Amino acid sequence: MIKKELNYDVIILGAGPAGFSCAIYTARGNLKTAVLDVNMFGGQPSNYLEIENYPGFPIIGGCELMEKFEQHIDKFGVEKFPMVEIKNIKLQGKIKAVECNDTVYKAPCIIIATGASNKKLNINGEEEFKCRGVSYCAVCDGAFYKDKTVTVIGGGNSALEEAVYLTKYAKKVYVVHRRNDFRADKTVQERALNNSKIEFILNCIPVEIQGDNTVKNIVLENIATKEKTILETQGVFPYIGLCPNTDLIQNQIKLNNQGFIETDINMQTSIEGVYAAGDVRNTLLRQVITAAADGAIAAQSAVRYIESIKENIKV
């Protein structure tokens, strides 16, 4: 089948905070810009109930903030392609290509802002009970657990924030964490520790999820004693960190030992004309504001790169 070919100055892969902010800057920098995403636009923050550390908005819904980002790119005529099925990505060479079912998107410059997804526990029962008691999105599924008992795994911001959120519905929320100390910010910790519906089970890891049609128990193992206990629960919400969304590019580009894309301070990757921004790259902090800032820098690098190509053609 002959595919339709669409040509741009820059293609942005991913429509979360990094991709959106990138698009604002590339479009304002006069680059013909396309934003593609395999999902609906909005990225991870669309799943957050509330965000309270994005400057200028003391508290705002994740969806609402991402809608504002999207409305902002609409002002600059960015071409938007949500829910695309990407078959192949070619990063090497002067012209990069993103091949979808019936269209090939081409540009001399690509910015990868594909974000990251929730890491899996990789224990028995996790896959089997997915959507039948195992969920990675409290905001999407929390309401199904009204007056039930649920278990959150992890000790970072996501685990503790989502545990607090789940107390709106569940009668009891266990937080299982493998250490005594939490990685979450102090304010987030305090909110969870002061919530009477939350009980912490520390120094334990989950080793199996059990049930029949739906989840009934989670088996925990004490890290020090190796003693196993069975906890009755109807829901399991793993929040044990993020893994980068690099499926279609990981053999083409330099990654760090955890699989995140290596960039320099200008968001330049190991390939000329390819930049990365946001949660998908090696970075200290994964927040809406840092992703948006990365996007702006990556866009500026892209603008300069395209200008340099055009200069070379003139000479």
Q: Is 205 in the site for ligand NAP (CB under 6 A)?
A: yes
Token pair 């990675």 is found at: 136
Q: Which of 20, 25, 145, 239 binds ligand NAP (CB under 6 A)?
A: 239
Q: Which residues contact 77 (CB under 8 A, 6 or more apart)?
A: 27
Q: Is 42 in the site for ligand NAP (CB under 6 A)?
A: no
How far apart CA 66 and CA 148 sit, in angstroms, is 31
Given the rule CB under 6 A, which of 93-101, 128-136, 245-253, 281-289 is the region that contacts ligand NAP? 281-289
- Closest Cα to residue 99, out of 84, 111, 116? 84
- 109 catalytic residue (yes or no): no
Which C-beta is closer to ligand NAP: that of 1 or that of 285? Answer: 285
- Closest Cα to residue 294, out of 280, 274, 277? 277
Which C-beta is closer to ligand NAP: that of 5 or that of 190? Answer: 190
Strand 103-107 and strand 96-100: the pairing is antiparallel
Burial profile 15-32: b = 16 or more Cβ within 10 angstroms, e = fewer: bbbbbbbbbbbbbebebb
Q: Is 179 in the site for ligand NAP (CB under 6 A)?
A: yes
Q: Is 211 in the site for ligand NAP (CB under 6 A)?
A: no
Q: Is 209 in the site for ligand NAP (CB under 6 A)?
A: no
Smallest distance from ligand NAP to CB 237, Å: 11
Q: Which of 33, 157, 245, 263 binds ligand NAP (CB under 6 A)?
A: 157
Which C-beta is closer to ligand NAP: that of 90 or that of 178? Answer: 178
Q: Which of 37, 100, 109, 141 is catalytic?
A: 141
Which C-beta is closer to ligand NAP: that of 170 or that of 242? Answer: 242
Token pair 């410059």 is found at: 109
Token pair 């069975």 is found at: 230
How far apart CA 103 and CA 56 sit, in angstroms, is 39
End-to-end CA separation in angstroms for the chain: 39
Q: Which of 31, 110, 242, 253 binds ligand NAP (CB under 6 A)?
A: 242
Q: Is 183 in the site for ligand NAP (CB under 6 A)?
A: yes
- 137 catalytic residue (yes or no): yes
Say if CB 9 and CB 16 are below 8 A apart. no
How far apart CA 280 and CA 86 sit, in angstroms, is 17
Annotated active-site positions, please?
A: 137, 140-141
Binding residues for ligand NAP, per CB under 6 A? Answer: 53, 153-159, 161, 178-179, 183, 205, 239-242, 285-287
